[in-house]
Every structure is written in C-alpha cells, then in structure tokens.
C-alpha cells in the first residue's frame, strides 16, 4: 500500500493507473476504522483492480464543534488496518490543502435535508456533499463504497451523483454489527463497556418494531411507541428521534401502506455520545 498526502501526487498516480485501464474502487472514510470500514475496503478490493481509500476528518460536516474535537484520531493504527484489509492507495489530505480557505460554496440537498439527520444536524449534509464531491473529483473512481448505517448519507450521495452527473457507481454496503447487535461505529470507541451493552438496545428496539410490523401493525406512531417504551426502560438512553419512514424516499409516513419497504431510523445519546442506527424492512 502506498500512502499519498497531496492532491497532485494522487492525481499523477491515478493518471498512471488509468493508463493501464485499472478500474478504481474508492472508500472515503474519516478514519477511526472498525470492521464496517474493513468490509468496505474488502468489497472494493474484490470488485476493482485498484482500491483507493481516504482518511479525512472533514470539519465542514460537523455541526457541533465539541463533536469534531472529540472525533477519535488513530492514524498510525488506521494505516496498518488499511494495509491489512488490502487497500492499495491511501490518501490522507491535510485540512490546509483540502480547504485552503473556508469554502464559500454550500450545497442545498433539498427535501433530504429537512428530514431525520438533516433536521437534527443543520449543515451536515452540505458538508458531506462538498467533501465527497471534492474527493470524487480528485480520485475519479469507477465505484464508491458507503455503509448503510448512514442510510440518509447514501441517499444524499446517490442524489449528488445523479444530479451532478458523476460517472461513478455508488455501492451501499450492509451494516456490520457486534454480536449483541450494536452497529459498528467510530463513535463506539467513546463508550464504556457498560455503555456499549446499553447501546445494543437500540438495535433491539428496531428489531421489536420489525416484529410488530410482521405481526401486522401498520400505524407508525404505534410502532414508534413500541420502540420508545422499550428504550425508555434504560435511563442511560436519551432518544433524539425514532421514526418509521418510507424506505425509498426516507419521507415520514403515518401508515405503512402503498410502500415496498420501510426504514426504522434512530438517533440517541448514551454517555454523551450520539449514535445512529437503522433497519430497512422489505414488505
């Protein structure tokens, strides 16, 4: 694996690889790698001649300064993990080169920014859209891989690629979970062991909702009550939102009717750490 830290050096390297007609699979990350990231690298490597990954903690997508400050950084370990997972080229740009001055551009995502994470994290998706566009311009991959834990992010990136005509195929990869159901996340590193055990109840609540749907419950407010009542038995869990939405558009629905899939989405705080999870249910 080679590690490249400047945009020009990466562009030169990629131009060379493209002359050999190598298909490029790209995995953008913010580091603090876990099994979820590793599964993306492995899939990108299996499906392309060249796997390129990036590590860049994008300041633009943090709507909360404290959250940015606390984001776990473990660059040496991440470089090793990338290499072991089979990454060929690792791009680690500096904030100074990537944003020589604060970008004046902002990207209005439209309706997707007025639901779920968009409502709760103003400016977040604009920041994601800008950094992903910049990375796509520099890397020009054939395929790019994203985890479905960030379900709405995948929808935002699909929209970005569609509307800005990026010639890139977006591959959404399944959520990787701990044995107890906790979705893998870099933020889990900030939880105590007890916190991680409590956090596994987020998935338990999503699964309870899934069970109720399979038993025939169709009112989304009743389903949210089922999950909410369960989670409220844990005093350590503070729910930010819990919603059952249209699985295709992520728009709010009051009743499960006339849709082919639903997504149960949650954001909650445990030990001061904000966690998200979701379960997509095909009907």
Binding part of the chain for ligand PAF, among 24-32, 42-50, 77-85, 265-273 by CB under 6 A, reads: 24-32
Q: Among residues 25, 29, 154, 256, which is the contact residue for ligand PAF, using CB under 6 A?
A: 29
Q: Is 209 in the site for ligand PAF (CB under 6 A)?
A: no
Gap between the Cα atoms of 192 and 198, Å rounded: 10
Best CA proximity match to 107, nearest among 32, 36, 160, 52? 160
Nearer to ligand PAF, 159 or 225 (CB): 159
For residue 267, list its beta bridge partners: 241, 276
Site for ligand PAF in 60-99 (CB under 6 A): 61
The length of the chain, given as a count of residues: 283
Q: Catalytic residue numbers? A: 37
Exposed e or buried b per residue across 137-165, where buried means at least 16 C-beta atoms within 10 angstroms of its C-beta:
ebbbbbbbbbbbbbbbbbbbbebbbeeee
Best CA proximity match to 31, nearest among 55, 61, 50, 59? 55
Residues with Cβ within 8 Å of residue 19, at least 6 apart in sequence: none
Find out whether 115 and 263 touch, Cβ atoms under 8 Å. no
Residue whose entry in the numeric block shows the structure tokens 């409220």: 232
Q: Is 30 in the site for ligand PAF (CB under 6 A)?
A: yes
Q: How far is the CB of 39 from ligand PAF (least distance, A)?
A: 14
Gap between the Cα atoms of 88 and 83, Å rounded: 7
Q: Is 175 in the site for ligand PAF (CB under 6 A)?
A: no
Best CA proximity match to 73, nearest among 93, 56, 90? 56
Q: How far is the CB of 144 from ligand PAF (least distance, A)?
A: 9
SS3 call for 122: coil
Binding part of the chain for ligand PAF, among 14-22, 28-36, 190-198, 254-262 by CB under 6 A, reads: 28-36
Binding part of the chain for ligand PAF, among 11-19, 23-31, 193-201, 214-222 by CB under 6 A, reads: 23-31
Q: Is 58 in the site for ligand PAF (CB under 6 A)?
A: yes
Total residues binding ligand PAF (CB under 6 A): 10
Q: Is 107 in the site for ligand PAF (CB under 6 A)?
A: no
Binding part of the chain for ligand PAF, among 26-34, 64-72, 78-86, 111-119 by CB under 6 A, reads: 26-34
SS3 call for 253: coil
Letters for 118-157 (x = contact with ligand PAF by CB under 6 A, - = none) are ----------x--xx-----------------x--x----
What residue ranges bind ligand PAF (CB under 6 A)?
28-30, 58, 61, 128, 131-132, 150, 153
């Amino acid at each position: 694996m080679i590690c490249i830290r400047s945009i020009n050096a990466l562009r030169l390297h990629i131009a060379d690889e493209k002359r050999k007609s190598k298909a490029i699979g790209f995995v953008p990350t913010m580091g603090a790698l876990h099994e979820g990231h590793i599964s993306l690298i492995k899939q990108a490597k299996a499906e392309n001649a060249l796997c390129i990954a990036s590590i860049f903690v994008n300041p633009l997508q943090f709507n909360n300064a404290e959250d940015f400050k606390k984001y776990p950084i473990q660059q040496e370990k991440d470089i090793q993990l990338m290499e072991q997972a089979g990454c060929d080229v690792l791009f680690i740009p500096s904030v100074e080169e990537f944003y020589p001055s604060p970008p004046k551009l902002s990207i209005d995502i439209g309706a997707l920014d007025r639901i779920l994470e968009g409502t709760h994290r103003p400016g977040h998706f604009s920041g994601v859209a800008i950094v992903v566009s910049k990375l796509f311009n520099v890397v020009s991959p054939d395929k790019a891989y994203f985890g479905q834990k960030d379900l709405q992010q995948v929808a935002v990136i699909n929209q970005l690629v569609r509307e800005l005509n990026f010639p890139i195929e977006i591959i959404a990869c399944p959520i990787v979970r701990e044995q107890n159901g906790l979705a893998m996340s870099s933020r889990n590193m900030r939880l105590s062991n007890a916190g991680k055990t409590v956090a596994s109840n987020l998935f338990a609540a999503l699964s309870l909702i899934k069970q109720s749907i399979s038993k025939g419950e169709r009112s989304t407010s009743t389903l949210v009550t089922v999950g909410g009542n369960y989670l409220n038995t844990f005093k350590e869990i503070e729910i930010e939102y819990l919603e059952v939405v249209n699985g295709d558009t992520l728009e709010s629905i009051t009743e499960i009717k006339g849709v082919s899939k639903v997504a149960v989405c949650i954001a909650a705080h445990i030990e001061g750490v904000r966690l998200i999870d979701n379960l997509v249910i095909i009907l």
